[in-house]
Structure formats: C-alpha cells, structure tokens
Amino acid sequence: MTVAFRPRPSVVRRDSGLYAYERALARRGLTPIAGVDEAGRGACAGPLVVAAVILRRQIPDLGDSKLLTALAREQLYDQIVRSAHIGIVVIPPAEIDARGLHRSNISGMRRAVARLTCDPQYILTDGFPVPGLPAPSLAVWKGDQVAACMAAASIVAKVTRDRMMVSLDAEFPSYGFADHKGYVTPGHRLALEAYGPCAHHRFSFVTVAREMGENEMGAGVA
C-alpha cells in the first residue's frame, strides 16, 4: 500500500518561503501540485468562487490575495493566467442556500480540480480536508499565505469574484456591490434595510434572513 506524503512541521517551516511546500513535495516526485482556494465564503451576497491552480513556473511577488492591493491582484492574475493550469467553479447563491455553505465549498473544490487541464499528483487545500479528490491531498491552515499554488488560487478566485460583483453593481446599483463585494458592511446593512434582499443575496445567511423577516412583518402591519 502506498502511503501519501504529508509534509510535517519538521519538513516544511511556515517561514521557509512561499514555495517550500512545492519544493518538499517535488523532492519526493509529487508534481505537478495543485492549490485550491475560494473567495466569497463570508459574504452574504454573490457567488462563492473556487479556483484550482497548478503553477508552471515561479511568479515574483505572489502572495495571499487578502494582503494585496486590488491593482496588485489584477497584475498577478494576468501573470497566473499566462503561466498556470486553472480550474474555476462559480457557485451561485441559490445553490449555497440549498446545499449549505460548507457542502457547496467542498463540492466546488472537487469540481475545480476536475476542471484542471493537467492532472495533479498532489493537492493542497485551504483550511480543511476535501474527500474524493483524484490525488493525495493535504489541508493547510491559511495555506494561501504559505504555499505558492494556493496563493495563486486565492488570487484567481478573488479577482474572478470581484469582477462579477462589479458587474452585479451595474445591475443592482442600490446595494453598493462594487464597494463591499457582497460582504456585510454598515452600508450594505443600510441598503438591505431600505430595499430588502435581491436575487443575488444568500437567503440562508442570518443578516439577509433577518431583513427578510423584518420586511415581511412590516408589510403585514401595513
């Protein structure tokens, strides 16, 4: 029986550089390596976007998408697209409401890997294990900060989703989607209070459900 290699703290230090996981796996012949991450998990509106990325070369200045400026993300996104195998899955709010956020996320990660045009020999997932992947895998806590392929996946997912939210803002300008990208902010709360949720809100999320209930009670009193 073949035992999957799992990098240990003694093998890979989190301060060893962004390509340390890839180097440790490559030394054992486990290449190519896919990184998987998502964007929009904590939002109450808009889709969940999951990306899987296999880098074909090192990319300078790569980093966790949340720690980069919007301009830096866009520039790195263009570099990643030119030098990587990419699989992207967009999960709409209705599917999140029907299946639940975690199940949708797990399914999205499997589907994103399946859409890669190159078969990975090892897969790094952000945060939690994903059963049913086609190769050995490892869940890495805050992996987008310590593994290059996961940082690339976080950038692809974030830029893809941000662009979608900007497009939604043109269709639903009252909510300010271009600014907050569907996350809960004071301005977003005020818009929900004033207009109620739109079709792109996640009705299973407490912030949206609360506003629905209050709007329905208000309509009943009126």
Tell me what the mean pLDDT of segment 27-40 comes to. Answer: 96
Q: How many structural domains are present in the chain?
A: 2
Which domain, by its residues, includes 30? 20-167
pTM listed for this prediction: 0.88
Whether 5 is in a domain gets the answer no
* Angstrom distance (rounded) from CA 36 to CA 153: 6
Report yes or no on 13 lying in a domain: no
Give me 1's structure tokens.
């029986």
Residue 215, token pair as written in the block: 């709007």
Q: Write out pLDDT tens, residues 109-120.
A: 999 999 999 999
Read off φ and ψ for residue 62, nearest 5 degrees. -65, 140
Domain final residue, candidates 130, 148, 167: 167
Contact in structure between 68 and 155 (CB atoms under 8 Å): yes
Quick: pLDDT tens for 137-155: 999 988 888 899 999 999 9
Answer whether 188's CB lies under 8 Å from 175's CB: yes
